[in-house]
Amino acid sequence: MANRIRPSGKLSLRPATLRGDGNPILNEILLSLPAKECDLIFPRLEFVRLKTHQLLHEPGDTIRSAYFCNSGLISILSVFPDGKSVEVGLVGKEGFIGIPLVVGFRTAATRAIVQIEASAYRIDSETLTSVLRQCPSLELQLHQFSQIISMQVTQIAACNRLHEVPERLARWLLMSSDRVGSTSVPLTQDLLAQMLGTRRSSVTVAAGVLEKAGLISHTRGSVKIIDRKRLEAAACVCYGIMQLQVEEWHREAV
Ligand SMILES: [Zn+2]
């Protein structure tokens, strides 16, 4: 399996360009747009910094802004009436928050929360809706990303039900590392337990197993991947299944 495919499955991209305000565009959807659509949408984007734990929307919220993620990591969580939640999706610079808007929906069905300090290009929902009518390439890319997230959510839901904590932890670390573009992933075990929908003690044991085997090193508030190849072998099949599917879809889309 190719190990270094980006989460989007795109193997090559134009180098990051710089906007007039000096902020580099790293979002893979924005980077792939034709010049005509860039001219239409870029003036309507606002660069924002998103702090860890910042809530972008809750289930039932009217979505007022959409975000083209530029760096960091955003978690998509399924939330239950008793307050429990579990992560069902991860979005980094390959993606976008605000998918219901693309098909004319206004309400969020999930929680979107910043997992690792992030930056993004924000756009008002009304502005996005009107720009999309003039930007067929952007609209197609957002529909494709919507399908990718849907596949990811389905796979992670099955993963949460069927696979053990250590292999899910390995899968999560690989997915996060891919999206932040670093072997170091800043996180606490409390947060990780919440993401994996399990007890903190289970995460501590699982992290200990991976650390003892020399796959990761763990310090307070951060996990570093030491041996990626063996971490891939330790992860459940879900990581590879999702990677291969995205690669396949991107080949088909060319
Ligand atoms: Zn799995």
- CA 168–ligand 1 middle distance (angstroms): 6
Report the chain's mean pLDDT, rounded to a whole number.
89
The pLDDT, as a whole number, for residue 195 is 78
Give 10-29 pLDDT, tens digit per residue. Answer: 443 444 454 546 788 999 99
Query: Phi and psi (nearest 5°) for 200?
Result: -60, -40
Distances (CA, A) of 240 to 1, 52, 116, 178: 8, 28, 23, 13
Average pLDDT over residues 60-84: 94
Give 176-199 pLDDT, tens digit per residue. Answer: 999 999 999 988 777 788 778 788
- Specify the residue for token string 């991947």: 225
- CA 170–ligand 1 middle distance (angstroms): 9
Is the model's pLDDT at 78 over the cut of 80?
A: yes
Give 200-235 pLDDT, tens digit per residue. Answer: 888 889 999 999 999 999 888 889 999 999 999 999
SS3 content of the chain, % helix, strand, coil (to 5): 45, 25, 30
- CA 240–ligand 1 middle distance (angstroms): 9
- CA 239–ligand 1 middle distance (angstroms): 7
Dihedral sign of CA atoms 117, 121, 127, 131 in order:
negative
d(CA 208, CA 221): 15
As given in the structure block, the two tokens for residue 4 are: 């270094």
Residues near ion ligand 1 (Cβ under 5 Å): 159, 163, 236, 238
**118 with 93: CB under 8 angstroms?**
no
Which ranges in 32-109 belong to alpha helices (H)? 35-41
Question: Other C-beta atoms within 10 Å of 186: how many?
Answer: 18
Query: Phi and psi (nearest 5°) for 80?
Result: -105, 160
- CA 67–ligand 1 middle distance (angstroms): 28
- CA 193–ligand 1 middle distance (angstroms): 15
As given in the structure block, the two tokens for residue 191 are: 């947060």
- CA 212–ligand 1 middle distance (angstroms): 21
As given in the structure block, the two tokens for residue 164 are: 């053990």
**231 with 173: CB under 8 angstroms?**
yes
pTM: 0.88
